[in-house]
Structures are given as C-alpha cells and as structure tokens.
Chains A and B, each alone.
Chain A
Amino acid sequence: QKEVEQNSGPLSVPEGAIASLNCTYSDRVSQSFFWYRQYSGKSPELIMSIYSNGDKEDGRFTAQLNKASQYVSLLIRDSQPSDSATYLCAASASNFGNEKLTFGTGTRLTIIP
C-alpha cells in the first residue's frame, strides 16, 4: 500500500488558469508536508512546506493541509508555461529531528500556452 498517493496525470491546464494538485497520505503520524517541483532531468526543488492545518501562501503558490482528511493540495495561480514539470508531494514523521521523507509518484503538469 502506497503511503503517499498522487494522481500521476498528465494534468493539462491553460496558461493563466489555476492548477490544482492533490495528494493523500496514509500515515496518521505524518507531521510535515512538502511540495517539490522536478523538471525533466533535474533534481527536486522545494517549493512549499506546510506543517499545520489550513492554507499557506507563497506568491502564486498555495498549499492546503487537512490532517483530519489526510489530504494535502497545491494550487498554482496564473499558471505559466515554466510551471510545466512533475510535482512531488512528500510527507514525513519526525524521528528525533531526522526526517524520513516519503514521496508520492508525482503529478506531471503541463501548462498549455
């Protein structure tokens, strides 16, 4: 059973629209959640972290966390072609401060000009 699940996509969104990426996790002790963006052939790049229920906004990105539903999402407003990438959701349960990140399989996002 996968611990972090994402829709693999591909998800196609017109330029300027809102892209919505979703993630569910099965381990209730997970405390920290992260969204990474990975361009083809590149390394994962951290774009958002969220630790408490609710919304967290950073520029065009908003992360949403609902621990009761074990659900994390990422909204990208005013989508740009440069947002086209694979988005990885990750969850962790702290182990004496050393985070074991469990990743989902990623959602491939394509922004259509």
Chain B
Amino acid sequence: DTAVSQTPKYLVTQMGNDKSIKCEQNLGHDTMYWYKQDSKKFLKIMFSYNNKELIINETVPNRFSPKSPDKAHLNLHINSLELGDSAVYFCASSQELDGGNEQFFGPGTRLTVL
C-alpha cells in the first residue's frame, strides 16, 4: 500500500527521557512535515523538509530535532521530554502538482509524558 507510515503508534514515557518517532512515505513525494495536534485538537506545523533539506522550522523548542536521512524518511527526536509535549504527532508528505500541494498524513503517534 502506498502511504505515509509512522512508528510507534503509541509512546508512553517518563519526563526527562529522550525518544524518537519515525516516519516513512512511499508516495515518491519530495516534501515531508511534522505536525503537533494538542489536546484541543489544534493542528500546528513544526517542521518541513524538502529533499532532505530543512525548509520550515516553526517556533519549536530546540529539544525537538528532526532528521531526514533521505527524502522518503523524516524522523523526530525529542530530548528531555516534558509534560507539555504530550500530544499526537503527525507526519505528512506532499508533492506539488498543478499549482497545488496536497498533503497526506500518517496515522499519528500519540505521545504521553508522565
């Protein structure tokens, strides 16, 4: 199946730990994104990579570090986790077509920091 996939689906951890979330897309898209959806369901972009190059870097604590080893993968590493990091993190990918750039989302990773 062509899709955007993420691992793990659920992540429960203690404050202060370091964790990573992985994302892969087999859609052949050039651009990948990380979004955070908080408890009020507000979806906000964090980062965007185009062909392994960082394009968008919103105001995100530097405890969050994305890495793109190739254009099909975008990982998110979070250091020193805090309670406020609890959220659902979505990966997305897109390819510009006909003047538009439709983004397709992965299934999400629900992070709970205790």
Quick check: B41 and A49 within 8 Å, CB to CB? no
Interface residues on B, range: 20 to 34
Instruction: Given A43-B105, A44-B90, decide whether A105 and B100 contact each other with a Cβ distance below 8 A.
Output: no
Q: Judge if B48 is at the interface, Cβ distance under 8 Å.
A: yes
Main secondary structure of the interface of B (DSSP, over half): strand
CB-CB nearest in chain B for A44? B105
From A21-29, A60-68, A76-84, A92-100, the one touching the partner chain is: A92-100
B102 neighbours in A (Cβ, 8 Å)? 34, 46, 49
Q: Judge if B84 is at the interface, Cβ distance under 8 Å.
A: no
Those of A8-40 within 8 Å (CB) of chain B: 31-32, 34, 36, 38
B104 neighbours in A (Cβ, 8 Å)? 46
Quick check: B45 and A105 within 8 Å, CB to CB? no
How many residues on the A side are at the interface (Cβ–Cβ under 8 A)? 27
Q: Judge if B114 is at the interface, Cβ distance under 8 Å.
A: no
Q: Footprint of B on A, CB under 8 Å? A: 31-32, 34, 36, 38, 42-46, 49, 51, 86, 88, 92, 94-103, 105-106
Q: Footprint of A on B, CB under 8 Å? A: 31, 33, 40-45, 48, 50, 55-56, 90, 94, 96, 99-108
